[in-house]
Amino acid sequence: MLNQPPEPLDLMFQALADPTRRRMVERLSRGSASVSELAEPFKMSLPAIVQHLQVLEQSGLVTTRKVGRVRTCTIDTGALSMAEKWINDRRVGWEHRLDRLGAFLDALPSGTDKGK
Amino acid sequence: MLNQPPEPLDLMFQALADPTRRRMVERLSRGSASVSELAEPFKMSLPAIVQHLQVLEQSGLVTTRKVGRVRTCTIDTGALSMAEKWINDRRVGWEHRLDRLGAFLDALPSGTDKGK
Angle (deg, nearest 10), helices B8-16 and B46-59? 150
Contact at CB, A87 and B83, closer than 8 angstroms: yes
Q: Are strands A70-75 and A33-34 parallel, antiparallel or unpaired?
A: antiparallel
Q: Residues A51, A8, A13, B18: is their CA dihedral positive or negative? A: negative
Question: What is the C-alpha separation between A15 and A22, in angstroms, rounded?
Answer: 8
The residue of chain A nearest to residue B16, with distances taken between CA atoms, is: A13
pLDDT tens digits along A26-75? 999 999 999 999 999 999 999 999 999 999 999 999 999 999 999 999 99
pLDDT at residue number A113:
52
Among B94, B96, B100, B101, most A C-beta atoms within 10 A, so best to mutate, is B94
Q: Please name the helix (run of DSSP H) or strand (run of DSSP E) that holds residue A70, with its range, or none.
A: strand A70-75
pLDDT at residue number A107:
86
pLDDT tens digits along B41-84? 999 999 999 999 999 999 999 999 999 999 999 999 999 999 99
Contact at CB, A19 and B30, closer than 8 angstroms: no
- For the segment B4-29, the average pLDDT, to the nearest whole number, is 95
Contact at CB, A29 and B91, closer than 8 angstroms: yes
Report chain B's mean pLDDT, rounded to a whole number.
90
Measure A115 CA to nearest chain B CA, in Å.
32
Question: What is the C-alpha separation between A88 and A93, in angstroms, rounded?
Answer: 8
Chain A CB contacts of B13 under 8 Å are 13-14, 16-17
Looking at the predicted structure, is the pLDDT value of residue A110 above 80? no
pLDDT at residue number B115:
44
Among A21, A76, A87, A104, most B C-beta atoms within 10 A, so best to mutate, is A87
pLDDT at residue number B2:
57
pLDDT at residue number B114:
47
**Cβ contact A16:B9 at 8 Å:** yes
Looking at the predicted structure, is the pLDDT value of residue A1 above 90? no
β partners of residue A108:
none
Looking at the predicted structure, is the pLDDT value of residue A114 above 70? no
